[in-house]
C-alpha cells in the first residue's frame, strides 16, 4: 500500500501509537496524581485550571462546525457541544466538572470567576480555541481526537480519586464515571 493512502484503521492505529507515547498523561503531574501523591491544594488547582479548558471545549467545537462546509460532518460534530453544555440547566460535562469542584471543597463562584486560572493555562486554552477558529476544519478536528485515549486514562484517574482522594465527595467524580466508555 502507498504510504500516502492510509486506511482508516492505519490512521487510527498510528494516532493511538502517538497518543500512547506522548499524550499529556505522561506528564509528571498526572503520574503524581494517579499515585495519590498530591495535596488537596494541588488537586483543587488542577480542577480549577482544567475547568477553564472544559468550559472552552464547546467554543472550540463550535469553531470547527462554523468552518466545516459538510452538513453531515457538522451534524456528527454537534454532539460534542451538547455533551459539554447539555441541553438544559444542570446537564452536561461542564456542570459535572462544577460538581467535582464543589465536591473538592471549592465554590461554584470561585470556579466560574476563574480566579484560580493560571496565565499559562489561559494562554494555552485560548490559543487552542483560536487554532480551531483559524485552521481548516480537518486540521482542527485532528487536534480534537482525545476520545481515542480518554477512556483508559479516565478510568485510571477515577480509580486514583476513589483510592487516594477520599476527601473529594464521591458524587463529585461522576464526570469521570460518565466518560469511562
CATH code of 136's domain: 1.20.910.10
Residue 137 · residue 155 · CB < 8 Å: no
Phi (first) and psi of residue 39, to 5 degrees: -80, 160
Q: Is residue 17 included in any domain, yes or no?
A: no
Cβ count near 29 (within 10 Å): 12
How far is the C-alpha of 174 from the C-alpha of 82, rounded, in Å? 17
Look at the block and give the residue holding cell 480555541. 129
| Per-residue pLDDT, 152 | 83
Q: Is residue 120 included in any domain, yes or no?
A: yes
Residue 168 · residue 103 · CB < 8 Å: yes
| Per-residue pLDDT, 1 | 43
Q: Is residue 64 included in any domain, yes or no?
A: yes
Q: Model's pTM, two decimal places?
A: 0.87
How far is the C-alpha of 27 from the C-alpha of 42, rounded, in Å? 15
Q: Is residue 16 included in any domain, yes or no?
A: no
Q: Is residue 144 included in any domain, yes or no?
A: yes
| Per-residue pLDDT, 179 | 84
Please give the residue range of the domain that contains residue 153: 44-178
| Per-residue pLDDT, 7 | 73
| Per-residue pLDDT, 88 | 95
| DSSP state, residue 23 | S
Q: Is residue 100 included in any domain, yes or no?
A: yes
| Residue ranges of the chain with per-residue pLDDT less than 50 | 1
| Per-residue pLDDT, 4 | 56
| Per-residue pLDDT, 75 | 96
Residue 52 · residue 122 · CB < 8 Å: yes
How far is the C-alpha of 47 from the C-alpha of 41, rounded, in Å? 10
What total of structural domains would you count in the chain?
Answer: 1
Q: Is residue 38 included in any domain, yes or no?
A: no
Amino acid at each position: 500500500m502507498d504510504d500516502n493512502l492510509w486506511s482508516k484503521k492505519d490512521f487510527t492505529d498510528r494516532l493511538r501509537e502517538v497518543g500512547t507515547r506522548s499524550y499529556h498523561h505522561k506528564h509528571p503531574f498526572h503520574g503524581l496524581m494517579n499515585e495519590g501523591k498530591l495535596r488537596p491544594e494541588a488537586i483543587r488547582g488542577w480542577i480549577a485550571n482544567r475547568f477553564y479548558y472544559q468550559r472552552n471545549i464547546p467554543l472550540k467545537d463550535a469553531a470547527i462546525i462554523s468552518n466545516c462546509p459538510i452538513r453531515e460532518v457538522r451534524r456528527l460534530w454537534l454532539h460534542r457541544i451538547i455533551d459539554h453544555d447539555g441541553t438544559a440547566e444542570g446537564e452536561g460535562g461542564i456542570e459535572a466538572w462544577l460538581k467535582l469542584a464543589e465536591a473538592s471543597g471549592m465554590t461554584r463562584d470561585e470556579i466560574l470567576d476563574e480566579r484560580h486560572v493560571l496565565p499559562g493555562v489561559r494562554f494555552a486554552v485560548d490559543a487552542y480555541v483560536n487554532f480551531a477558529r483559524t485552521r481548516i476544519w480537518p486540521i482542527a478536528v485532528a487536534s480534537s481526537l482525545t476520545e481515542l485515549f480518554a477512556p483508559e486514562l479516565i478510568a485510571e484517574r477515577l480509580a486514583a480519586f476513589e483510592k487516594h482522594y477520599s476527601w473529594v465527595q464521591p458524587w463529585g467524580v461522576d464526570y469521570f464515571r460518565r466518560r469511562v466508555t
